């Protein structure tokens, strides 16, 4: 009886694991890169805000209606000193890049040395947002 219970439990776990893998979007592996974000610091202003250009590249095999993101602006100690939040809604084909102007409020540009992904989702054409795991989005600061 114990053997049957253990086998039943193992089968249920296997089913849950297979279902979890399917929920990661169009990719079957969590290590696949589905989007790339490039943050470019633009000309600093007289204020303590840092203007940036955010470029999001579609690395998937499907069209997007847009994205939603939240990035941490990191200082040299690796501590988040600000954030960049955006939700550009523009049609974006696979391999294409979505570009928007944004800013890090209350943080001078010289204090920002890196960025990290806190949240990312994309909008498949005609559908609701799909959240993807942060490790599937590469972010870099230029």
pLDDT tens, residue by residue, 57-78? 999 999 999 999 999 999 999 9
Task: Report the length, in residues, of the chain.
Answer: 142
What is the model's pLDDT at position 32? 84
What is the model's pLDDT at position 30? 64
At 80, the pLDDT band (50, 70, 90 cuts) reads: very high
SS3 16: helix
Share of the chain above pLDDT 70, in %: 78
Instruction: Answer whether 103's CB lies under 8 Å from 51's CB.
Output: yes
What CA–CA distance (Å, rounded) separates 76 from 70?
A: 20
């Amino acid at each position: 009886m114990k053997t049957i219970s253990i086998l039943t439990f193992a089968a249920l776990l296997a089913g849950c694991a297979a279902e979890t893998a399917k929920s990661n979007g169009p990719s079957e592996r969590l290590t696949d890169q589905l989007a790339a974000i490039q943050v470019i610091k633009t000309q600093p202003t007289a204020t303590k805000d840092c203007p940036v250009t955010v470029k999001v590249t579609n690395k998937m095999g499907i069209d997007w209606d847009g994205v939603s993101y939240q990035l941490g602006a990191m200082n040299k100690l690796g501590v988040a000193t600000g954030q960049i939040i955006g939700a550009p809604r523009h049609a974006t084909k696979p391999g294409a890049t979505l570009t928007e102007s944004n800013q890090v409020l209350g943080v001078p540009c010289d204090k920002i040395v890196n960025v990290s992904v806190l949240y990312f989702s994309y909008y498949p054409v005609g559908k609701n947002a799909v959240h993807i795991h942060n490790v599937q989005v590469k972010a870099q600061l230029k």
